[in-house]
Structure 1
Amino acid sequence: MPTDTLPPWLDHQAIDKALGRESAPDNAELRDILDKSLALESLSIQEAAALMRVSDPEHLVLLMNTADQVKQKVYGDRIVLSAPLHISNYCGSECLYCANRRGNTTVARKYMTPPEMREAGRKLIRQGHKRVILVSGQLPNAEVEYLEEAVSVLYTVFDGMGEIRRVNVNVGPLKPEEYAILQAADVGTVLIYQDTYHEASYRAAHVSGPKSDYLGRLHAPDTAFQAGVGDVGLGLLLGLGPWQYDLLAVMLHAAHLTRVYDAGSRTVSMHRLRPVPGGGFEVPYPLSDGEYLRCVAIARLAVPYTGIVLTTKEPAGLWRDGCNVGCSQLLTGSVANPYESWNEAPGEKIPFPIGEDCHVDEVVRFLLEEARHLPSFCTACPRLGRSGPEFLSMVQECGMKSQCGPNSIASFMEFLLNYATPYTRQMGEKLISEKLDGLPGPERGAAERLLQKVRSGRMDEFI
């Protein structure tokens, strides 16, 4: 596929036409669309655009509740927890909204060394994390070798009984042989965020450097799959372009990946544009909290099988509401501590990243007390080698729910026994007891057998 032309799946005219709709769906149309989602069928962009026009408060509540039902049907009530780990903020691009941008002189710059990566990994393990997402700027030199080294380091870090079991990578477009290097290093999902599919908005915000290549980034997920990568994740930086446009575009992108590679998008990350050190970039298309939640809900309804990822960096606890409208994964933001050594001269420059001080125990406590969701640290699928078409097939058959219930309970008990504060452990064991009562007989039996092993000191137990 040529990478210097617009890919055929991104039909700007079709998106604009769908967004030209002005009327809200009536009762019958809304019910038909929501029933289609409940049947776990992907929506068309015309149907998603109709949901964007819902204005009646009762209809909006129905939309949100249905998104939660779809998520429950596919994944159960679990919320998978991961931690981002920023290993470098050097970058060769000038993206006006980003603290990593090449011309930003207000932040301290650093490449983490292998010993620092190891210590950062230990700090995350001590909080109970098993899943890590590596984040860096689009590095000017030796990007793949550096990432490969970081992956290898993290997979060999142990602290007591804990370890990192899944390393995903947020990376820019690479050559096929470079993706193959990451795959050989046992990388999990390769995350390639377009941020905005709205071409004018993209070009206005990405003024120079590797990330200014709009077309190259659009084609990168295809290149990754063709190079043998098992799973690719897409992502939006909401507010950079019109959210309605970007949501329809990411739907088309996910549909293309499913159609061509039978794998789809393993995840879709839904982050909002936020202020950063050395910023001053005005958000071109700001979203209200209500619009953000509607965007998350429609994404779940439109692409029922994908993992919808939110971040605890969202202000005002908005990520909490997102857990009830279709979110299935949370980046906890509990990575502040590894950066103590970034600033060699304290006070001279702002260390980066900042604003990511939400401890995983705090997130777990919320999920237990308020949301009543099951926090999950499960890594059974990567342990079993499930990726791409095999993973998607299992999700489509709702096999995730039947296996993930017991596996998530076991992984959560492992967290409670080894990492949780006493109050969180008490609340967590109470919730596990309640969840067991709600499981069908075979699933409950499997969960109880796993729990017995974990309570006896076994780790990394799953079916």
Structure 2
Amino acid sequence: MTHASPDSPDWLDAARLQDALDRHRREDAGRIAEILAKARELKGLDGDEVAALAALDRPDLLAELFATARAVKEAIYGRRMVFFAPLYISNLCGNECLYCAFRASNNSVIRHTLNQEEIAREVEILIEQGHKRVLMVAGESYRGGFEYVLDSIATIYSVKRANGAIRRVNANLAPLTVDQFRALHGAGIGTYQLFQETYHRETYAACHPRGQKADFNWRVTAFDRAMEAGIDDVGMGVLFGLADWRFEVLALMSHIAHLEERFGVGCHTISVPRLEPAIGSAMATHPPVPVSDADFKKLVAILRLAVPYTGLIMSTRESAAMRRETYALGVSQISAGSRTNPGGYAAAEQFESSQFQLGDHRSLEEVVQDIAAMGYIPSFCTACYRVGRTGGDFMDLAKTGDIKAKCAPNAVGTFLEYLLDYAGPDTLAEGERRIAAEIAAMAPEEQRVARRLADMVRAGKRDVFC
């Protein structure tokens, strides 16, 4: 596919972003206190405020930042944690991304594109584990063209098992034309996800020397085309480790502000992957600008305050220990039991055909039990997508914190469904304790709805929600 590259977006002003960072090199405790107070009002933050928080270093101020992030997340979403699984359907790619195992010239990776029967088998296994939503992922090259993507979505939705089905397919795909985005929307996807990787133009050019992805402008304007086509839920992300994380966070904020100004709605999710080792990639093993664990936790907390209505996704790139630490900093969605090689659920995890090395290898049930024991409520909810509560309708509820009245009862219902249909005895016992504690902590109306949904699930009904 060939395309005409759009003009450079005027909302991405690197000099302005760098100036903001330069003006906030030193901590200002009084200013920080004002910013955190504003954040607790769920109003979000502007670029200057984000730059000020990025300079934080004092332990006491960092502790206040983290406490504020947790309070903001719980005010909007409560203590629920949404689960999903990635489903890689192909690792063919025409790009030359130096940090990625899937890049075109990498002869170390074992290539495979799943046929529809193989995709169906992967989906069966994910359903049998208890998953209800998947993120379909493919390299930027498809045997069969774009129709292969649409056929794969249809296959995922078509698989039915005695104990359920995948209720929502999100998609992580290369930038498309407006017409292709319309077709993707018509296929019934939930969120369209795309990572810019880096907003730093010079770094981007150095990391993407060849392929369609080398066109910075085509990639950075993809969400505009998606929204023009009717997709109102989009998921952003930066691959941290390629450039200064502070610049990337400010650029991400500029991108969100642009979408809100043009379309009236920002991004539905933000992902925060760090570079992890990948077969055949020296850059992945030795990131150009590595992000320390301390800075990683800080940027997660800052994003929660900056865009409080947005779902923050923590993938299995990170270790189990790091994932646990970020839950309290504002993370609201996680993957579990993940495989990043095509066919990895039916066969086995295989580093030689994977996009990157996983940090958390635990099964879905192990993560569910761990989450519940930590005091969170695992959620498999897809209600918002199903009732059309997306885009602006979702944001209107999320920005005021009213979405929690939906999220909390739905989390209880879907978690109980998981426990009764898939969990072992220990997980079931831990989960029942967590559900009882969650309902007890709810407001009266939320309690009523949650108990009604739970009663329906215990009576044998499934896929119930408000």
Bin for the TM-score computed over the shorter chain: over 0.9
Partner of 1:364: 368
SS of equivalent residue, structure 1 residue 87: strand
Which digits, 9 at most, give the CA deviation of each residue in 1:91-147, with x for residues without a partner?
000000001100111111111111110110011111110010011101155442111
Secondary structure in 1 aligned to 2:282?
coil
Separation (CA, whole Å) in 2 of partners of 1:34 and 1:8: 30
- Which residue matches 1:434? 437
- 1:295 pairs, out of 299, 302, 307, with 299
Name the SS for the 2:188 alignment partner. Answer: coil
Matched-pair contact (CA < 8 Å) for 1:74–1:398: yes
What is the RMSD computed on CA atoms of the aligned residues? 1.9
- Post-superposition shift, 1:312? 2.0
**Structure 1 counterpart of 2:363, which letter?**
H
Aligned mates of 1:366, 1:290 — CA distance in 2: 23
User: Are 1:457 and 2:460 an aligned pair?
Assistant: yes
Structure 1 3/387 Cα, relative in aligned 2: closer, same or farther at 3 Å? Answer: farther
- Report how far residue 335 of structure 1 moved: 3.2
- Indicate the larger mover: 20-29 or 117-126: 20-29
The Cα shift of 1:368 comes to 1.5
Report the residue type matching 1:434 in the other structure: A
- Is the CA contact 2:336–2:364 (under 8 Å) kept in the aligned structure 1? yes
2:126 & 2:312 partners in 1: Cα distance?
22
Q: Report the Cα offset of residue 21 of structure 1.
A: 2.6
Within 5 Å, give how 1:411-422 maps onto structure 2: 411-422=414-425
Whether contact under 8 Å (1:339, 1:351) holds in the other structure is no
1:169 to 164, 168, 171: 171
Please say if residues 109 and 342 of structure 1, whose CA atoms lie closer than 8 Å, have aligned partners that are also in contact: no
TM-score, structure 1 normalization: 0.95
Counterpart check, 1:218 vs 2:220: yes
Aligned partners of 1:82 and 1:131 also within 8 Å: yes
Residue 324 of structure 2 corresponds to residue 320 of structure 1: yes
1:196-226 C-alpha deviation (Å, 9 max, x unpaired):
1011111111110011111111111101101
1:157 maps to 159
Deviation at 1:5, TM superposition (A): 2.5
Q: Distance in 1 between matches of 2:451 and 2:339?
A: 33
1:339 aligns with 2:344: yes
TM-score in terms of structure 2 length: 0.95
Q: 1:392 — aligned with what?
A: 395
**What is the SS of the residue equivalent to 1:453?**
helix
Question: By how many angstroms is 1:362 displaced?
Answer: 1.3
Q: Give the secondary structure class of the aligned counterpart of 1:444.
A: helix
Letter in 1 for 2:307: V
CA distance in 2, matches of 1:116, 1:93: 25
Residues 236-281 of structure 1: CA distance to partner in whole angstroms, max 9, x if unpaired? 1100111110000001111111121112101111100111011112
Query: What is the identity, as a one-letter code, of the residue corresponding to 2:459?
Result: S
The 8 Å contact of residues 121 and 346 in structure 2, kept in 1 or not, is answered as no
Amino acid at match of 1:447: A
Is the CA contact (8 Å cut-off) linking 1:34 and 1:63 kept in structure 2? yes
| 2:250 corresponds to 1:248 | yes
Q: Which runs of 5+ in 1 are unaligned?
A: none
Give the aligned residue type for 2:336. T
Quick one: distance in 2 between partners of 1:46 and 1:6? 23
Matching residue of 1:111: 113
Residue matched to 1:376: 379
Instruction: Output the CA distance in 1 between the equivalents of 2:239 and 2:167.
Output: 27
The SS at the match of 1:350 is helix
CA contact (8 A) 2:317 2:357 kept: yes
Kept in 1: contact 2:80–2:379 (CA 8 A):
yes
Deviation at 1:56, TM superposition (A): 1.2
The one-letter code sitting in structure 2 at the alignment partner of 1:373 is Y
Paired with 1:336 and 1:267, the residues of 2 have a C-alpha distance of: 20
Give a deviation string over 1:389-412, Cα, whole Å, max 9, x none.
111112122221111110110000
**Deviation by residue 1:57-105 (Cα, 9 ceiling, x = unmatched):** 0110000110111111111111111100100000000000001100111
Shift of 1:379: 0.6
Q: 1:99 aligns with which of 101, 112, 119?
A: 101
Residues 336 and 367, structure 2, Cα contact 8 Å, conserved in 1: yes
1:63 and 2:68 equivalent?
Answer: no
- Aligned mates of 1:404, 1:342 — CA distance in 2: 35
Counterpart of 2:304 in structure 1: which amino acid?
R
Q: In the TM superposition, what whole-angstrom CA distance separates every residue of 1:328-353 from its partner, at most 9, and x where no partner exists? A: 1112243379427779xx99x92335
- Give the distance between the partners of 2:331 and 2:23, measured in 1 at CA: 27
Distance 2:442 2:338 in 1: 31
